[in-house]
Each structure stands twice: as C-alpha cells, then as structure tokens.
Amino acid sequence: MRQLPEEAARLCVVLNAPVRLVSHLTVVHDTACKIVQGLRKVFPNLSFDAEAVCFGAAIHDMGKCVHLEELTAPGNKHEESGQALLMANGVHPHLARFARLHGKWDREPVELEDLLTSLADHVWRGCRNEKLETMIVERISSALGIEQWKVFELLDDILNDIKVK
C-alpha cells in the first residue's frame, strides 16, 4: 500500500483527520495509483495529469473532517466543504476541486482526471459503475482514436487486476 503524498499527509495532521478517514484516503490513493499505472502501460500516448489523479484520490474526502457524521453515514455535505477547507489550507483550486467533484462526475463538466479519481473511489471496494466507466472509455477512445470496445477491454483488465489483489 502506497503512503499518502506528503502534502495530503500534512493536511490529515493539520485537519485532525480521523484514523478511519486517513485509512480510506490511503486505500483510494493506492487504487488511483494502480489505475494510473495500468493506463500508462496500455495507453502510453494518453495525455492526462497522473499526479493530479493520485493527489485527488488522496484528498477527495477531506471535507469529512468537518462532517464527521458522513464517515459512517451517507451524505455529500463534505464535498463543497472539502473544497473550501482544502483551499483555506493552501491547496490550489485546480487540485481542491477533487473534493467537490468526486461525487458529481455525472452532474457537472469534468476532466478525465476527475473521472479517474471517482473511479478509484468506486473500485477500491470492488464496485464497478457502468456509467462512469463508459464516460472514461468514451474520453480515451476519442483522445486516442481507438475503438471503444478495445478501450473497454483494456480498462476492464486493469480494474479486474486491481480487484483481484
């Protein structure tokens, strides 16, 4: 399991993140790094900010430091609060956005990086989301000129490999 990036770990300390949240962020970050690694291997010409994806996964739920009830119950108040909290603690808005968008990938305009961060937040627990994966497949297919069925096949292999381990 990869450790959180230094800045994300610092934020966990500064914001007094509960152990449960730090554990979750660590697992989602590790999953995002595995997805990025797999994509880099099978789509070496795909242009995306891999570092932003991994960092986004490491901070996506930081708003739960304010909305502790959402650590054990459903809710999305942590999304808006998380972005504001991160920016108030020196995180650039370009990166803080992951806290707000990880749950809104299907309701707001998003980049591939946002979709991949949301994917990591699903896959870590063995869940698959057809709509999310279809959006990712369409983006990659369009960017690289590869047929969607082939992109899906390769992405599916990456995600199945992560689930198995």
Min mean pLDDT across 5-9, 16-20, 57-61, 72-76 is at: 72-76
Q: With 60 as the cut, is the pLDDT of residue 24 above it? A: yes
Q: Under CATH, which number does the domain 6-164 receive?
A: 1.10.3210.10
Q: Domain spans of the chain?
A: 6-164
Whole-angstrom distance, CA of residue 111 vs CA of residue 41: 20
**pLDDT at residue number 125:** 87
Averaged pLDDT for residues 63-81 = 93
pTM value > 0.75: yes
Min mean pLDDT across 92-96, 147-151, 161-165 is at: 161-165
Whole-angstrom distance, CA of residue 26 vs CA of residue 136: 23
Q: Which of 94, 15, 24, 106 is nearest to 61 (CA)?
A: 24
> For 78-124, how does the pLDDT look when each residue is reduced to its tens digit (9 = 90+)?
999 999 999 999 999 999 999 999 999 999 999 999 999 999 999 99
**pLDDT at residue number 164:** 53
